[in-house]
Amino acid sequence: MTGVPLEAIRDSFEGIMPSVIATTDASGIPNLSYLSHVYYVDSHHVALSNQFFSKTAANVAANGRATVVVLDGRMGLQHVLDLVFVSSSRSGPIFDRISAQLDVMASLQGKSHMLKLRAVDIYRVERCRRIDPVAPIETAPENPVVARDWLAEAAAATAELSAIADPETLLDRSLETLEERCGFRHSMILVADGEGRKLSTVASRGYPRYGFGAEIAFGDGIIGVAAERGLTLRIADMRRSQRYVSAVALAAGLNRDDIPMPAIEQVQCQIAVPLIASGRLSGVVFAESEESFAFSHAHEAALEIIARQIAAGLAIFELADAASDAAGRGVAPVSSADKGQAFSFQYFPRDGGVFIDNDYVIRGVPGRLLYHFVRSYVETGRAEFSNREIRRDRTFNLPDFKDNLETRLILLRRRLEERGGPIGIERPERGQIRLVIDGTPQIAVMEDA
């Protein structure tokens, strides 16, 4: 390729401004069309989404060439790319990533039924040249954030996180590190339920409220799609999505058993990276900003490296916790049930949902755990439990391997703590759970709910 390196114009491939593609038919008659997005593949190739350009497709089939104009949405600079058709694909990593990106953007714009990706066309870039502006463009000063050595920042972050010895500290310190080293001021970690249905917020930073236990379904919004497809997704500028209803800010229209997600106003930029270790998804790390272009390709690469460290750390803690259980621990002590003001404790076996005094608390495995603890407390006065006995109890439907139990207990403890009384749990030592109750629970099992 000759001319301007594609790496120098990466901001032109963010899909902020539509691109123009020009082709000619066999007789030389030109045709112009608009493209929503030109995708950077590598130093010599770009990808175009093949959605509805029938005339363009026919012209490319006739002579194998196209010319594209891309626009830098931040600076307003334009470049012309001379392209040679290489191949078309309906599957594979590039197709999957572009399809996921399109699906997220389409859902944000309410056009899910219109923007279905049919294929991805790969082009070799023969030449990239700048279009000189009619009027001089004031060049912005170099962005110190962009100029940062992101590889060094990611290396330092992973080194620090790899030295942490417990999962709860890892979750919190990960988000702190993301802000300190990468500038992600608003971020959260969500853990998967193990059934491929929902993700729950277990840690957050930079929001007015923590939102522990707030859920997003797989496939919903940028977080849900990132989890469902195991792909990193980034939206650099959301101004094109004026009809955007944030899957993260689903504060309106909540059901009585929904916890509002942590959210900021006027979100303009988002990124979601799946937490995957040994091929298994454990959750998603997500960040957002009120500033357009806040997260660059460099941010994305750094976050992917750090996310892998987080995922690996959580997986190691799971294995260590299970091994510790296998070694055996002391018998959980029994204590007398305290008496005090009565409160209602409703349990829904269908989904493990728990309500206290008619307020939703949590559901799923954490809800089933909480019901088990409270029922045992009421029936026997017992207030201390162990991870080992939970793993042996088949009523929780935990998998035999990689049950994510410790992370679920962290989620439960944080949710109860954020809600505030009358129930809490403590961790007196590794592998042990202590139930703390202020009052007398009146348990009701709601079979038909």
Residue 251 confidence (pLDDT): 40
Which residue in 78, 75, 59 sits closest to 20, CA to CA?
78
For residue range 378-429, list pLDDT tens digits in order: 999 999 998 888 888 877 766 665 668 889 999 999 999 999 989 999 988 8
Task: List the Cα angle 247/231/194 in 5-degree steps.
Answer: 75
Torsion sign (Cα): 171, 211, 383, 445? negative
Asked if residues 218 and 199 have their Cβ atoms less than 8 Å apart, the reply is yes
Please give, one letter per residue, the 3-state secondary structure of 269-293.
EEEEEEEEECCEEEEEEEEEECCCC
For residue range 238-292, list pLDDT tens digits in order: 765 544 344 444 444 456 667 889 999 888 899 999 999 999 999 999 999 999 8
For residue range 83-139, list pLDDT tens digits in order: 999 999 999 999 998 888 888 877 776 655 556 788 899 999 999 999 987 766 666
For residue range 28-71, list pLDDT tens digits in order: 899 998 887 899 999 999 999 876 568 888 899 899 999 999 98
Segment among 72-76, 90-94, 112-116, 338-342 with least mean pLDDT: 112-116
Main-chain phi, psi angles of 69, to 5 degrees: -110, 125
Cβ-proximal residues to 185 (8 Å cutoff; 6+ apart), any chain: 179, 205, 206, 289
Main-chain phi, psi angles of 6, to 5 degrees: -65, -30
C-alpha 197/C-alpha 219 separation (Å) is 9
Cβ-proximal residues to 214 (8 Å cutoff; 6+ apart), any chain: 200, 201, 258, 259, 260, 261, 262
- Give the predicted TM-score (pTM) of the model: 0.84
Residue 248 confidence (pLDDT): 41
Residue 140: pLDDT band by 50, 70, 90 thresholds?
Answer: low
- Which element (helix H / strand E) includes 315? helix 297-327
Whether 178 shows a pLDDT value over 80: the answer reads yes
Residue 331 confidence (pLDDT): 47
Pairing mode, if any, of strands 119-131 and 2-3?
Answer: parallel
Pairing mode, if any, of strands 19-24 and 30-35?
Answer: antiparallel
Cβ-proximal residues to 41 (8 Å cutoff; 6+ apart), any chain: 47, 94, 122
